[in-house]
Amino acid sequence: MSQQESHCAGCDEGNCNHCEKKSMLVSPHEKSHIKKIIGIMSGKGGVGKSSVTATLAVLLKRKGYSVGILDADITGPSIPRMFGIKEKALGNSEGVFPVTTKSGIDIMSINLLLENEDAPVIWRGPVIGGTVKQFWTDVMWGDLDYLLIDMPPGTGDVPLTIFQSIPMNGIVIVTSPQDLVSMIVKKAYHMAKKMDIPVLGLVENMSYVTCPDCGKKIPVFGESKIDTVASELKTDVLAKMPLDPTIALLCDGGHIEEFSADYLDEAACTLENID
């Protein structure tokens, strides 16, 4: 019995928050059998959430797991480009097939449905939220060990729709070292907690740059505050990723599956150990 079900089973009134949330969850496609669903979230845009999502997917695939990515960032989709995917998603009367990358990662993104990948998605929140739900209900994901959801940034309508509609096992919060980090991370953290979603830990991106001559780590955005924030929230720091031009080149060139650094190894191990 899941944590939500155990709460609801003990509810005499039948109107607790857990019951309300449980009633809003929607079922995946009948041909989707997914063991663990992890959201990759950020309190604001521009912190590298999508590259962290893509890299974690690559690391889990290398460990022998079957992995998919649901690109829920409808207005800023970047996952297909990172994997060099140019073909469009196809479907039949039963549903839509995800597109599979070279290494075997299944992906669904709005850019796999648009005629031109640079066409803007000028939709209101409810339409965007409905599209994300269709990526869950209409896509035939098959048998997956992990489905990573590249969440839209912030704590607004679409993240709320995802939390209410999809039964997630946990989230990873991605952030950067700027002074706003404490407030932004806490907003994302508290949103997840209010929705009864476990926070698995924090990833600080752009934490430092390594000097090519002496190897010294230089905090170009100021000293990191992530350890203090993590301590206050009683969660873990899963990684401190540097500003690495190699990662940017791999993402821009569609070759993220060639990623070879160990920055996110601990984060991948954390996902492996989820009950």
**What count of other Cβ atoms lies within 10 Å of the Cβ of residue 152?**
27
Q: What is the mean pLDDT of residues 88-96?
A: 96
The proportion of the chain whose per-residue pLDDT surpasses 90, expressed as a percent, equals: 73
Instruction: Sort 95 into a burial class: Cβ within 10 Å, 0-12 / 13-18 / 19+.
Output: middle
CA distances (Å), origin 198, targets 55, 59, 209, 227: 21, 21, 31, 19
Question: How sure is the predictor about 24, in pLDDT bands with cuts at 50, 70 and 90?
Answer: confident
pLDDT at 18: 52
Question: How sure is the predictor about 17, in pLDDT bands with cuts at 50, 70 and 90?
Answer: low
DSSP SS3 for 207: coil
Q: Is 132 left (phi over 0), alpha (psi -120 to 50) or beta?
A: alpha
CB 185 within 8 A of CB 235: no
Cα separation of 46 and 202, whole Å?
A: 16
pLDDT at 212: 85
Cα separation of 84 and 255, whole Å?
A: 6
Cα separation of 135 and 74, whole Å?
A: 11
According to DSSP, the residues that pair with 172 across neighbouring strands are 40, 201
- Amino acid symbol at 40: I
Cα separation of 111 and 88, whole Å?
A: 8
Could you tell me where the DSSP H helices lie in 63-180? 79-82, 125-137, 157-165
Backbone φ and ψ of 10, nearest 5° = -95, 10
DSSP state for residue 197 in the 8-state scheme: -
Cα separation of 92 and 117, whole Å?
A: 22
**pTM of this structure:** 0.89
Domains and CATH numbers, the chain: 23-269 (3.40.50.300)
Beta strands in 43-105 (DSSP E): 67-71, 99-100
pLDDT tens column, 153-166: 988 899 999 999 99
pLDDT tens column, 97-150: 999 999 999 999 999 999 888 888 888 888 999 999 999 999 999 999 999 999
Among 178, 176, 170, smallest CA distance to 201 is for 170
Angle between helices 49-62 and 265-272 (to 10 degrees): 70
34 pLDDT more than 70: yes
Among 109, 92, 95, 106, smallest CA distance to 139 is for 95
pLDDT at 2: 44
Instruction: Sort 115 into a burial class: Cβ within 10 Å, 0-12 / 13-18 / 19+.
Output: exposed
- Amino acid symbol at 170: G
